[in-house]
Structure 1
Amino acid sequence: MKDSDESPEIVPEKIENSFNYKALLGIAILVISFHIGINYFIETDDADTIVSIFSMFVPLTLAIIGFSVVRKYKGTQVFGKAYLALSFGYLSIFFAEVTYAIYDIVYNIEPYPSIADIFFFMLYPLLLVYLFINIKFFSPNLGKKAKAWIIVMPLIVLLAYSVVSTTAGEISILEFDFYYGIIFVYAATLTLAVSIVGASIFKQGVIGKAWLILVIGILLNNLGDLWYYNLELFGEYDLLHPVNMFWYSGYIVVIYALVIHKKTL
């Protein structure tokens, strides 16, 4: 899209075949290698610092690239707003990681729950804005199965989380932690459910594979979030846990999708 005044909402046809699976394999190898390296070849204190810096740098890079895509879509009625929401969402993750690191590394205070959670939570509504804008544009009338999935799937996961937290997690339904966890689990699962619907739509037609890859990145992030919230039930999360690989790979996959998308505009 070279001129925002000329057919601003047309989707570039080049997007459909603009990626290869070797790149995704490369991302997987990079993330796994990084995780092995910091766990087995670096001292724990240094590894924590490296993980924190990496966790800040990647979503910040993603947000910057996202804002550059927004500039490309300047003047459009649909995609400019969608990518603006996406970019602000990952920028909020950058602020969340900075706050988390200050609590955990600088002051040695348990960072969950903390102010950082406000920034982490902001990602969900902003991702939902991005997803719903695109879904509405490319599939104005969702089928009954898709609507049912978006409603029922989060409720099932929420029920399972409630059972686990009140039994194995030994958290009372009268405790603050129970409801605090439920809010995050529901938001993450709702975003995951909508992402799956988006993936089923975006794999077809003119929307192309770049959007599908981007949604896969969002899916990876949300799966990591759900795993994390379950880990927190038992106090088993630390900065070197394998769940981090879901977040790293999710961020980098989204970056890859945005780079592809930007090159085709």
Structure 2
Amino acid sequence: MQTTLDVILSKKYLIVSLIVIAAINLAANLISQDLATLVGNLGYIPITGAFLVLSLLIAYRFGLTGNHGLAWFSFAAFAISWFIAEMLWLHQELVLKVEPFPSAADIFYIVGYPFLLMFFVAYLQPVKASITKKILSISCMISIGVLVPSLYLVLGNGTSADPLNVILGAIYPTFDAMVIIPAIIGVVLFFKGQVNFMWTLVCLGIICLFAADTAFLFGQNEDSYYTGNPTEILFYWNYVLLAFGVHSHLTLFKKDKRPDKLNLN
């Protein structure tokens, strides 16, 4: 288990990181939209790069042993897929000067979702007895409550005439609705004392992703979204929270070299 000092320090650096990222984004937007787009794209290189390295490191250390091994292997596959997607998006927008949505980046974003869902399922196995019907029902209701208006916006009231835009616009909120359920469950279990700091950060990161994708969908529908706009902060926060979550678990691993002895608490 982490000591109190470890938790406090990790939270301190986490909070500073979140504030700095938000400040840079807002400052760039105050200067110009072009600068915000440039900074917004380039910002993904160090953020997703750090997330990828940490994910590969923890997957290597756990191997494929048990539920944790499967979970971190899936998580690393998710990190690889989304890192590629972010770099393709950057290349499309900054180098090729073409609209990055839809593009090849969407293939890797979509491929990453099943791996992320596998991570949640494998990691929740040890505490599945703590997941009550009430917790599951609330999580599902929240998920459906956001999914329905999102799908209506895309399928019933969308302005895009491009079938691919419509299909992707329906796929993203559907996958988000699937992964937000275990994420909400994880946050609830944290407040009940069933899971640790790492799991909470990962779940909060996915909730940020869910909110960011929803904002992206509405922005695309109104043709007002651009890379680096203020709502993009939620995408950055998603990666930062996930990275700090992985780092937190790597700290636990260093204290006990036996992965089979580590648990969620």
Alignment TM class, shorter chain as reference: 0.7 to 0.9
Query: Which residues of structure 2 form unaligned runs of 5+?
Result: 254-265
Q: Give the CA RMSD over aligned residues.
A: 2.6
Q: 1:49 aligns with which of 38, 47, 65?
A: 38
Which residue in the other structure is 1:78 paired with? Answer: 67
Equivalent pair of 1:16/1:206 in contact (CA under 8 Å): no
Check 1:45–1:65 CA distance in 2 against 1; reply closer, same or farther (3 A cut): same
Matches within 5 A, 1:1-265: 13-14=1-2, 18-20=6-8, 21-41=11-31, 44-74=33-63, 76-140=65-129, 142-165=131-154, 169-170=158-159, 175-205=163-193, 207-265=195-253
Per the TM alignment, residue 154 of structure 1 is displaced from its structure 2 partner at its CA by 3.4
Equivalent pair of 2:158/2:221 in contact (CA under 8 Å): yes
Which sits farther off after the overlay, 126-135 or 18-27?
Answer: 18-27
Per the TM alignment, residue 242 of structure 1 is displaced from its structure 2 partner at its CA by 1.0
Which residue in the other structure is 2:263 paired with? Answer: none
Which residue in the other structure is 1:3 paired with? Answer: none
Equivalent pair of 2:131/2:185 in contact (CA under 8 Å): no
Equivalent pair of 2:54/2:243 in contact (CA under 8 Å): yes
Cα-to-partner distance string for 1:142-189 (whole Å, 9 max, x where unaligned): 3223333454443332321233346664458x9554333111111112
Aligned residue type for 2:40: V
Query: Which residues of structure 1 form unaligned runs of 5+?
Result: 1-12
Give the structure-1-normalised TM-score: 0.83
Equivalent-residue separation in structure 2 for 1:177 and 1:261 (angstroms) = 38
Per the TM alignment, residue 134 of structure 1 is displaced from its structure 2 partner at its CA by 1.4
Equivalent pair of 1:181/1:229 in contact (CA under 8 Å): yes
Between Structure 1 and Structure 2, which shows a larger proportion of helix residues?
2
Equivalent-residue separation in structure 2 for 1:216 and 1:15 (angstroms) = 21
Equivalent-residue separation in structure 2 for 1:75 and 1:188 (angstroms) = 26
Equivalent-residue separation in structure 1 for 2:174 and 2:3 (angstroms) = 33
Q: How many correspondences in the alignment?
A: 251
Check 1:180–1:32 CA distance in 2 against 1; reply closer, same or farther (3 A cut): closer
Which sits farther off after the overlay, 184-193 or 16-25?
Answer: 16-25
Equivalent-residue separation in structure 1 for 2:56 and 2:159 (angstroms) = 44
Per the TM alignment, residue 141 of structure 1 is displaced from its structure 2 partner at its CA by 6.3
Equivalent pair of 2:197/2:248 in contact (CA under 8 Å): no
Equivalent pair of 1:154/1:186 in contact (CA under 8 Å): no
Per the TM alignment, residue 244 of structure 1 is displaced from its structure 2 partner at its CA by 1.2
Equivalent-residue separation in structure 2 for 1:70 and 1:204 (angstroms) = 28
Give the structure-2-normalised TM-score: 0.83
